[in-house]
Amino acid sequence: MSVDVQRLTRAGIRAIEKDLESELLEKRREIRQLESAIETLSELAEGDPSVFPTEVAYTYTATRGKGEYVTKEEELLLEDPGSAEAAAKRLEKRLGRFGRLRDQMVERLKHRRKTVREAKSELKDFVHGTDGLVSEVLATLH
């Protein structure tokens, strides 16, 4: 029975590790993507007016509640070159704040990754500690 619990626990930890690594990669790309969005908006502002109306979307890190970080997506509907220019300036102005929040979220993700790795190293002890509990639950169910 402990072998099954150990397999399930390992699978869960692997899934959590994979999710954390994916989030870290996404966060590392975020600033480059924001800079690319600014560049796109600037090009639209200086380009052909016949491409309007058009949409531009970008993601950024934000806070929700106390100490909780989330990734938000913003979609802009641009009606003319002036709205593209204003959006580029607004995004460029917010880039520093987005960068700080992203850095804080990366640190939080690294801390979670460290915690998961520590839990992984103590997996055998955890599984042995659950043997009695699992046996009791199964006995109760029968």
The total number of structural domains in the chain stands at 1
Give the tens place of pLDDT for each residue, 48-69.
Answer: 888 899 999 998 888 887 778 8
Range of the domain at 102: 2-131
**Is the pTM here over 0.85, yes or no?**
no
Q: Is residue 138 part of a domain?
A: no
Q: Is residue 102 part of a domain?
A: yes
Q: What is the pLDDT of residue 1?
A: 56
Q: Is residue 37 part of a domain?
A: yes
Q: Is residue 137 part of a domain?
A: no
Which of 58, 52, 99, 54 is CA-nearest to residue 77? 54
Q: What is the pLDDT of residue 140?
A: 85
Given a cut of 50, the residues of the chain with pLDDT beneath it are: none
Q: Is residue 12 part of a domain?
A: yes
Q: Is residue 139 part of a domain?
A: no
Helix-strand-coil split of the chain, %, nearest 5:
75, 15, 10
Q: Is residue 136 part of a domain?
A: no
Q: Which residues have a Cβ under 8 Å from the Cβ of 132 and sit 6 or more positions away?
A: none
- 40 burial via Cβ count (<10 Å: 0-12, 13-18, 19+): middle
